[in-house]
Structure 1
Amino acid sequence: HRYQTLDYVLGKEKQYFGLTRGKKSVWEAADYLNTLVDDSDPDTDLTQLEHLLQTSEAIRRDGHPRWMVLVGFIHDLGKCLCLYGEPQWGVVGDTFPVGCAWSEQIVFPEYFADNPDRNVPQYQTECGIYEPNCGLENVHMSFGHDGYIAEVTKPYLPDEALYMLRFHSFYAWHRQCAYKHLENDKDRAMLEWVKKFNPYDLYSKGHTKPDVKQLKPYYDELFAEFLPEKLAW
């Protein structure tokens, strides 16, 4: 919380959203991510790849659209930011808008006391640098894995999928109903999809390990349906 200033976020967006870190397939990105230990996720003794497959398989079992199964698999791939040298506090955990007043609904709001943006009056008004009802797509969110994977896949996936990716850690909005003053009609329509995805992210972490080899042909086909062979990262 204390380091996620508007200037920090704008700098990170500039650094990463140009997608200049080479091309990788989804499997290559998942293998790369597998080398990461996520401090924020105490619930699982599975590898990152196994967690992704558990999430996507739970979505598939419940008969959701194929693009949502894909979201389940790729939703945490942006955590590879940690492997580029970003600190975990800047990659995982809850996300929130920057450049406007912080909601009390954000987890651990007391830590904002040390954030330099507290001393910028413009950033401490309800809408801050934004217009009322400007839409969440026009809001700068604290930097992390959600926004990054949404940028990587933006040209290829439907809006519902991109909202799930971009906002799955924005609990103050999709769980606590904060930031209504920044929402537009599209956000309100998309909110139900973000909520639909959330239980799979949180509670699909069982302890039976998915059989990667057996599942691979299904996912090869799924990735090919929506995505190019290699994605720019």
Structure 2
Amino acid sequence: MTRGGKMQHCFKVFLLLLDDRIRKELILELNATKGFILQGMANDPGEIELQALAADPPHIIVVNFDHPKTHNLHLWSTLKSFPPREISIVALTSGESKSTLEIIMAIGVHALHPTMISGSRLMKSVSKVSHRQVDFDRGLNQLVKKIPLCSSHLHGSDLSSPNHNSINLNGQEIILSPLESKLFHYLELHVNEWISVDELLEAVWKTDKCKGGTADQVKSCIKRIRDKIEPDRVNPRHILSSKSAGYKLQDITARKIRREY
């Protein structure tokens, strides 16, 4: 598809475990909205479906988290590992189940809405997410905020939650998950200082290597932050790393980044 001789980008949307009403309404909206295509849908995602998605990852997944099959964290760890792009997740839930909200927090979503949402409103949310904006229903967001970041069955993990913070880097708003924001803020408090992995595990994850904390947890979170703020991910200039010393946030970042809440 071209416009003015240039290729027009289309966001691929995958529908997962949606009920008939909202699935039909959203499909109509997708077909009527330029820049979006329905990549597919599934009500029983197995290994074959996951392999197909891995070969051609969607940009956005719209999913009903009230379905019990979404409580399988293996499913989400697989989806989150798909290269090369980050998959944005639009979540639907009634908000009646605390365990469902905990799963949503653990996975990290970009939009959160009640299951009774209309197709047109859901399409607006999909469009916002495609522009890297978060979009949360006010009532559900209040419920999510009441749940601790580290729930008992998620303690020690580095999975993000939907209570995002944003930072402004050179005029560009960048969304960080609560865990990413907490790590960034700790480095910001100690700008130009090398912070060891052990100290970061204790300060950010509230754990240590004796309790199961690992350097990979820190490395993974640092990588996600770098992916968002570094102009050159191969040669980072904001967050530096050292095998012996740990990580350091340079003052150039502290001067140019203004925290926003």
The interval holding the TM-score normalised by the smaller chain is under 0.3
Structure with higher Rg: it is 2
TM-score (norm 2): 0.24
| Higher normalized contact order (CA 8 Å, seq sep 6+, divided by chain length) | 1
**Larger strand share, 1 or 2:** 2
TM-score (norm 1): 0.27
